[in-house]
Amino acid sequence: MLENIKNHRGLWVVAGLALLLAFWPSLVPRFYVYLVSLMLVTGLLATSLNLVLGFGGLYQFHHAVFYGVGAYGAALMIKWSGLSPWWGLLVGPLAAALLSLVIGIICVRLSQLYYGMLQISLGSLVWAIVFRWYSFTGGDDGIHGIAVPGAIASVSGAYWFTLAVTAACLLVMYLVINSPFGRVLMATRDNSERAEMIGVHLIGHQLIALVIAGFFGGVAGVLFVVVEGSVFPDMMFWTLSLEILVMCLLGGWFTFMGPMLGAAMMVGLRTVVGIYTEYWTLVLGVILMLLIFFLPQGVLGFIGAKRTPAMAHSRRED
Amino acid sequence: MDATSHITLASLAQQVLVGLSRTTILFIVSSGLSLILGVLRIPNLSHGSLYMIGAFVTYSAAVFIGGSTGFWLALIIAPAVVALLSLAVERGLLRFLYDREHLMLLLFTFALTLVFGDLVKLIWGSDYRSLTAPPLLQGSFDLAGLPFPRYNLFLLLLGPLVALGLWLLTNKTKIGKLAKAAAVDREMVAAMGINVSWVFAAVFCIGCFLAGLGGALVAPTQNITQGMDHTIIMEAFLIVIIGGLGNMWGALLGALIFGLTDAIGILVWPQFAIVFPYVAVVVVLVFRPKGLLQSTW
């Protein structure tokens, strides 16, 4: 499905989009700059989830915990350490990667649904600790007014930083998926027994993928701190994790850019719906049901399937 | 941390008893979740929402009817309402998705969670409600010098009854036997000429009834609020994981472990009591990655 990106029309779309994004802050009011920053952050988070979910076949039900830990890692480092804030931005993703390794080691031997249920529970434990540790994390108030580095503190500064980091991260993840490692990972997804039979170290590959995904989830968290200047425990609540899953589903989870597209659509929609009603979750629930019934392969998956009818439409994993 | 110095044998015993009565509610809710997981293989995220709806309906029914009768009738009405709601969802939507992968089913139940959450907000508003138990169950009696709430005793007595009822249902009735068979091999059951779809509907309905019953029973013990669905669903997930997916006795064992570690945690380190059950879960899973008892699949 990656051919979507490689062929010419896809390339033009990407080039046009890159050009638009490059001049975005000089074209639109500040609110829209902020909104696109948020879309990029959420898209990076969704793409990092899709690395293990769509390409690794792991039921990572609670991915937002790495987003939250990345953000809190940066925020706490900036608040308590007294070092340059840039260190905080570095510590966040590393903390997320470490947590991903720990949770991964506990969960990775379990089969799909077991994995997912234990992963979501352990993630909730992290949330509960952050939520209750008032003296250190600020409890349910979170931390506000985080002193991000001056160079990237303004709305457009945060935008440029987010755009550059997101682009770099997407490139790295794209390279990871298309590397021999990525191919082996997809082989473990499609048939783990056969992959093990030909000598693949299954758990090793899955753990590495989890750490990479956790790291980039953490990067997204750090970018959120840069854009928003605050953190709160809802960032790592399990409902957010499932919302990211929905974004992957909406965009198409066997495509590389699908989650990015899904995230952009979802963040945009939430903003628009939020103007009219406070019942956003009701709207989201109905959209999700419609998606499950009528568009299970997502937008990009749908377009891809239309273009190449020979390609298998659905992929069962039971 | 200064609570540590006040732990006496009596307060420990009291806390264990309170923990055991909490176990009853956890068991009722998670046995329903486990039943649905075992037979339908759906990790029903909306189970917590149904629990919350059960609690809110109990409140409304008890207030509407009034008095002790109101409470006792509400204990029956609320689970029935929840069961009917779940039957409507199952027949109307869920049954068309049974041949999809787990992830789609999980996301569908998440969609239900979102919709139910906002529906509760629409109907009952964002304020919390509280319900008092009938006079018979109010107050507490003396237990070796320490007060033990009567309502907790009621729960403590009810737990084994529900377990017995579930055991009779799964082992002695036709629907229970069919459900067990469908859990192991649904194609074979269908090949015997049995309408598996209706077996699934019945099991889903019974499972959700238990969520509603749990919500009804918890109503007088805590504030009925938005968000109580989120707490219980994670606890129920953990309990089902410790016990073994789909195993009813596993749910009982899991609820016991969870309830007791939680109760002792509250005594030892109130702020982070929640950590204790999780540690227990991790320890269990290190030694038995598939849960303590045999899972049904």
Q: How far apart (Å, rounded) are the C-alpha atoms in residues A72 and A56?
A: 27
The CA-CA-CA angle for residues A109, A113, A119, to 5°, reads 65
Would you call B1 an interface residue with chain A, using a CB distance cutoff of 8 Å? no
Name the residue among A112, A120, A239 with its Cβ closest to that of B237: A120
Q: Is A173 exposed, middle or buried (0-12, 13-18, 19+ CB in 10 A)?
A: buried
Q: Over the stretch A21-43, which tens digit does the pLDDT of each residue have?
A: 877 887 888 888 889 999 999 99
Domains of chain A, by residue range, sit at: 3-237
Closest C-alpha among B237, B122, B126, B215 to residue A285: B122
Q: Which of A1, A133, A22, A29 is nearest to A72 (CA)?
A: A133
- B266 inside 8 A of chain A by CB: no
Place of tokens 């682009």: A167
Mean of pLDDT over chain A: 85
Q: Would you say how long chain A is, in residues?
A: 318
Q: Which residues of B touch A316 (CB under 8 A)?
A: 101
What ipTM was estimated for this complex? 0.83
Question: H or E element: which one contains B146?
Answer: strand B146-149
CB–CB of B230 and A118 under 8 A? no
Mean pLDDT of A131-152: 83
CB contact under 8 A, A116 and B282: no
| Three-state SS at B126 | coil
The alpha carbons of chain A give a radius of gyration, in whole angstroms, of 19
Measured between CB atoms, which of B41, B104, B272 is closest to A296? B104
pLDDT score recorded for residue A7: 59
For A124, the closest chain B residue by CA position comes to B234
- B window 110-149, beta carbon within 8 A of A: 110-115, 117-119, 121-122
Residue with tokens 């994981």: B241
- What element of type H or E holds B141? strand B140-143
| Matching residue, tokens 């046995």 | B31
Query: End-to-end alpha-carbon separation of chain B, Å?
Result: 43
- Ordered structural domains, chain B, with CATH: 2-127+139-287 (1.10.3470)
Q: Is the sign of the CA dihedral B178, B180, B183, B186 positive or negative? A: negative
Secondary element (H or E) of residue B142: strand B140-143
Q: Give residue-wise pLDDT tens across range A282-305.
A: 998 998 999 888 888 878 877 777
Q: pLDDT tens-digit profile of A53-103?
A: 989 888 898 999 999 999 999 998 888 887 888 888 899 999 999 999 999
Chain B CB contacts of A121 under 8 Å are: 234, 237-238, 241, 278, 281
Identify the helix (H) or strand (E) that includes residue A5: helix A3-6
Query: How close A126 comes to chain B (CA, Å)?
Result: 9
Closest alpha carbon within chain A to B290: A110
Distance CA A143, CA A133 (A): 12
Test mutation, A52, A53, A105, A117, chain B, max B CBs within 10 A: A117
Which among A59, A106, A128 has the least Cβ separation from residue B274? A128
The answer to whether residues B236 and B48 touch, using CB atoms and an 8 Å cutoff, is yes
> What is the DSSP code string of B169-183?
HHHHSHHHHHHHHHH
Is the predicted pLDDT of residue A317 greater than 60, yes or no? no
Residue to substitute from A121, A290, A293, interface B, most B β-carbons within 10 A: A121
Buried b (16+ CB within 10 A) or exposed e, B216-249: bbbbbbeebbbebbbbbbbbbbbbbbbbbbbbbb
* Dist CA A174 CA A255 (whole Å): 11
The pLDDT value given to residue A311 = 37
User: Would you list the DSSP string of A41-88?
Assistant: HHHHHHHHHHHHHTTT-------HHHHHHHHHHHHHHHHHT-S-HHHH
Q: Residue B235 and residue B242: Cα distance in Å, rounded? A: 11
Which helix H or strand E contains B287, and what residues bound it? Answer: helix B275-287
B107 to A237: CB separation less than 8 angstroms, yes or no: no
Residue B24: other Cβ atoms inside 10 A: 26
Contacts of B262 (CB under 8 A, 6+ apart): B19, B22, B273, B274, B276, B277
CB B297 within 8 A of CB B246: yes
Rounded Cα gap, residues B57 and B60, in angstroms: 5
**Pick from B37, B103, B272: CB nearest A129:** B272
Portion of chain A with pLDDT greater than 90, in percent: 32
* Higher per-residue pLDDT: A276 or B288: A276
Best CA proximity match to A50, nearest among A177, A141, A150, A180: A177
Question: Residue A264 to residues A46, A267, A268, B90: CA-CA distances in angstroms?
Answer: 10, 5, 6, 32
Element (H, E) at B148: strand B146-149
At A221 the three-state DSSP class reads helix
Q: Which residues contact A66 (CB under 8 A, 6 or more apart)?
A: A48, A96, A99, A100, A213, A214, A215, A217, A218, A221
Sign of CA dihedral A59, A252, A185, A64: negative
Phi, psi of B30 (to 5 degrees): -75, -25
Binary contact (B278, A246; C-beta < 8 A)? no
Asked if B60 contacts B219 with a C-beta cutoff of 8 angstroms, the reply is: no
Beta-carbon contacts of A290 under 8 Å, excluding residues fewer than 6 positions away, are: none
Per-residue pLDDT band for A310 (boundaries 50, 70, 90) equals very low
Q: Give me the pLDDT at residue A213, please.
A: 95
Q: How far apart are CA A148 and CA A79, in angstroms?
A: 10
The values of phi and psi at residue B129, to 5°, are: -120, 155
pLDDT of B294 reads: 73
Interface residues from chain A to B (CB-CB < 8 Å): 59, 61, 106, 109-110, 112-114, 116-118, 120-122, 124-125, 128-129, 132-133, 237-239, 242, 245-246, 249, 279, 281-282, 284-286, 288-289, 292-293, 296, 316-318
Residues A234 and A267: their CA atoms lie apart, in Å, by 16
Q: Which residues, in sequence order, are bridge partners of residue B140?
A: B149
Which residue from B97, B275, B281 is facing A292, i.e. has the nearest CB?
Answer: B97
Say which amino acid occupies B35. L
Q: Along the 297 residues of chain B, how does pLDDT read in single tens digits?
A: 444 456 677 777 778 888 888 899 999 999 999 989 888 888 899 999 999 999 999 999 998 988 888 889 999 999 999 999 999 999 998 888 888 888 888 889 999 999 999 999 999 988 888 888 888 888 777 776 777 788 888 888 888 899 899 888 888 888 888 888 887 788 888 888 888 888 889 999 999 999 999 999 998 888 898 888 888 998 898 898 888 887 888 889 999 998 888 888 888 888 788 888 888 888 887 788 777 877 665
Tell me the per-residue pLDDT of A199-242, one tens digit each, with 9 for 90 and over. Answer: 888 889 999 999 999 999 999 999 999 998 889 888 999 889 98
pLDDT number for residue B3 = 47
How far is residue A229's CA from residue A203's CA, in Å, rounded to a whole number?
37
pLDDT at A316: 40
Please report how many Cα atoms fall inside a 13 Å half-sphere around the Cα of residue A56, on the Cβ side: 27
**What is the identity of the amino acid at B123?**
I
CB burial readout B143-178, b (16+ within 10 A) else e: eeeeebbbbbbbbbebbeebbeebeebbeeeeebeb
Each as own residue / partner, the long-range contacts of residues A306-314 (CB below 8 Å, 24 or more positions apart, any chain) are A308/A3, A311/A1
Minimal Cβ distance to B241: which of A118, A128, A316? A118
Helix/strand/coil for A232: coil
Give the C-alpha separation, B78 to B56, whole Å.
8
Mean pLDDT of A261-286: 89
